[in-house]
Amino acid sequence: MPRPDGPLRHQPFRWLLAGTTVNSLGNMIAPVAIAFAVLDLGGSATQLGLVVGAYALADVVAVLWGGVLGDRLPRTVMMRGANTAAAVVQGLVALSLLGGWGSLWLLAIGGAANGALGSLAGPSTQAVTPQTVPQPLLRKAIALRRLSQNSAMILGSGIAGLLVAWIGTGGALAVDAATFLLAAGCFTRVRVPALPAAVRSRALAEAGEGFREVMRHSWLWSLIAMALIYHLFYGGSQGVLGPIVVGDHIGRAAWGYALSAMMTGFVAGGLLSLVWKPRRALLVGELFLMLTVCFPLAMALSDNLWVVLAGAFLHGFGLEIFSVGWDLSIQENVPAHMLARVYSFDQLGSFIARPVGLALTGPLATLVGERHWLLVVAAAMAVAEIAPFAIREVRRLERRPVAEEAVVESGAVAAPATP
C-alpha cells in the first residue's frame, strides 16, 4: 500500500521550508539586537521608534514593487537575490557595531535597506507555496510551513537576548547576516514549474490589477483594513514599549522570554491547525484573533513575568490560527498569476500605518504614561478585530471541498512526489 502523500515528500517544498525557517530564525534575532543597540548608543524611546520606523517605512514603500516583480519574474530569483543583498547589508551594520563606529543613523539606514529587501522578497515567498505542492496538500503545506517558521522564531527570540549578552549587539547581527546567506542557498534549490506567461503592461497598471482583485472580495479588503488599525497601534507596543516596559520592570532577558512565549503560542496554534479543519476557517480565525489583546493588557497591568508570558502566548496562539485561515483563503480564492500582487497589497495595507505608530508611540507614551498607552492599544485592537464581523463574507466564506484532499491523505491516490 503506498504511503500517504504529504508536503515533505515534495523536494521544492522541503527547500522552501528550510529557507523560510532559517529566515525566521534570523528575523527574531535582529529586532532584539537592534533595540538594545539603539539603547546602548544612548537612544531614547522616541529614537528607537524612529529607527524601527525606518525599517517599516521602507518595507511599505517597496512592497508593491515586490508584488509586481513577483508575478513577472521567477519568484525563486526574487527570494535568492533579496536574501543575498540583505546578508551584505546586515553584515556591514554588524561590523560597525563591532568596530565601535556604529551610529543611530547607520542603524536606521541599514534597517531601511533590509526593510525594502524584505518587501521585494516577501510576496514571492508567500505566493510560491502553491507551486511547490499539489493543490490538495496546500492547507497542510501552509500549516506546516508556518509551524516550522514559528518554531524557529521561538529559538531565535529565546537566544536573541543570550547572543546580545554573550557576543554583543554587533555579534548578534553578524549571526543574522549568516542566516540570510544560508536562506539564499536553500532558495537556490527551490525548483518549480514556471507559471504561464501573463500579458504584461506598465508596472502601475499591473499593480492596479492587483488592487482591483483585492477590492473584488469584501472579506479581503475588510480584513486588510482591520490589520491596518491593528499594526498602527500594536507595532509600537511590541517594537518600542515592550523592550522598555518589560526590560525595565522585569529584566532584559524577560523580553526575550516573552517573545519566545508568543512564538510558542504560534506553534501551538500551528499544531492545532494541522489537525483541525474548520469549514469556515476565516470566521474561526477572526474569533481567535481577539486573543491578541492579551499581550498589551498583560504588559500594562502586571510586573509578574508569568502573567506577561501568558499574555504573549495567547497572542501568538490566536494570531496563528487566524493566519493559517487567512493564507488558505487567499491561496484558494485568488488566481495564481495574481497572488504576489495580492500579497503585496495585503502587506501594504497591513503595514502602511506601522511607521506612523512606531514614530508616535514614544511621544504618546511619554505624554500619557507607558502603561496607560498600552491600555489604549488593547482597546483599539479589540475594536478593529470586532468590526469585520459585520461583513457577510467574513462570516460565510467556506473552504474548498476537501473530498480530494481526503483521498490523497488516505493513500488511495498519491500525487507525484520528488525524492
Residue 411 inside a domain? The answer is: no
Whether 409 has a pLDDT exceeding 60, the answer reads no
Q: Distance (Å, rounded) from C-alpha 40 to C-alpha 168? A: 10
Alpha carbon of residue 296 to chain centroid: 19
What is the model's pLDDT at position 197?
55
What secondary structure letter does DSSP report for 352? T
Whether 404 has a pLDDT exceeding 50, the answer reads no
Q: Distance (Å, rounded) from C-alpha 292 to C-alpha 308? A: 12
What is the model's pLDDT at position 405?
41
User: pLDDT category, 196, cuts 50, 70, 90?
Assistant: low
List, for residues 210-228, the tens digit of each pLDDT value.
788 888 888 888 898 898 9
% of the chain at pLDDT higher than 90: 25
What is the model's pLDDT at position 179?
94
Phi, psi (deg, nearest 5) at residue 66: -60, -40
Phi, psi (deg, nearest 5) at residue 189: -95, -5
Whether 410 has a pLDDT exceeding 50, the answer reads no
Read off the CATH number of the domain in which 63 is found.
Answer: 1.20.1250.20
What is the model's pLDDT at position 190?
92
What is the model's pLDDT at position 412?
31
- Report yes or no: 299 and 374 within 8 Å, Cβ to Cβ: yes
Here the cell at position 414 is: 498519491
Residue 1 inside a domain? The answer is: no
- How much is the CA Rg of the chain, to the nearest whole Å? 21
What pTM does this model have? 0.68
Residue 231 inside a domain? The answer is: yes
List, for residues 125-172, the tens digit of each pLDDT value.
888 888 898 888 887 888 888 888 878 877 887 788 788 888 988 999
Mean pLDDT value across residues 40-67: 76
Residue 348 inside a domain? The answer is: yes
Instruction: Of 28-32, 40-44, 136-140, 169-173, give the range with the top mean pLDDT.
Output: 169-173
List, for residues 71-102, the tens digit of each pLDDT value.
777 888 889 999 999 999 999 999 999 998 88
Whether 199 has a pLDDT exceeding 60, the answer reads no
CA neighbor of 71 nearest in space, from 107, 123, 22, 116: 123
Whether 262 has a pLDDT exceeding 80, the answer reads yes
Greater confidence (292 vs 57) lies with 292
Mean pLDDT value across residues 189-193: 87
Residue 381 inside a domain? The answer is: yes
Q: What is the mean pLDDT of the chain?
A: 82
Whether 413 has a pLDDT exceeding 70, the answer reads no
What is the model's pLDDT at position 289?
94
- Across 86-95, 249-258, 274-283, 324-333, least confident range: 249-258
- Across 25-34, 67-76, 170-179, 281-290, least confident range: 67-76
What is the model's pLDDT at position 407?
37
Residue 235 inside a domain? The answer is: yes
Whether 415 has a pLDDT exceeding 50, the answer reads no
Here the cell at position 274 is: 494541522
Domain that holds residue 144: 7-193+202-404
Residue 414 inside a domain? The answer is: no
Instruction: Of 132-136, 177-181, 258-262, give the range with the top mean pLDDT.
Output: 177-181
194 backbone φψ class: left, alpha, beta (φ>0; ψ -120 to 50): beta
- Helix ranges (H only) for 8-135 are 11-40, 45-72, 75-98, 104-127, 129-132
* Residues 6 or more apart whose Cβ sits within 8 Å of residue 317: 265, 266, 268, 269, 288, 291
* Residues 6 or more apart whose Cβ sits within 8 Å of residue 166: none
Instruction: Of 122-126, 297-301, 380-384, give the range with the top mean pLDDT.
Output: 380-384
% of the chain at pLDDT higher than 70: 90
Q: Distance (Å, rounded) from C-alpha 281 to C-alpha 326? A: 8
- Across 50-64, 145-159, 327-341, least confident range: 50-64
The distance in angstroms from the start CA to the end CA of the chain is 18
* Residues 6 or more apart whose Cβ sits within 8 Å of residue 78: 66, 69, 70, 120, 121, 124
Whether 414 has a pLDDT exceeding 70, the answer reads no
How many domains, the chain?
Answer: 1
* Residues 6 or more apart whose Cβ sits within 8 Å of residue 213: 334, 335, 338, 341, 342
Residue 208 inside a domain? The answer is: yes
Whether 347 has a pLDDT exceeding 60, the answer reads yes
What is the model's pLDDT at position 195?
67
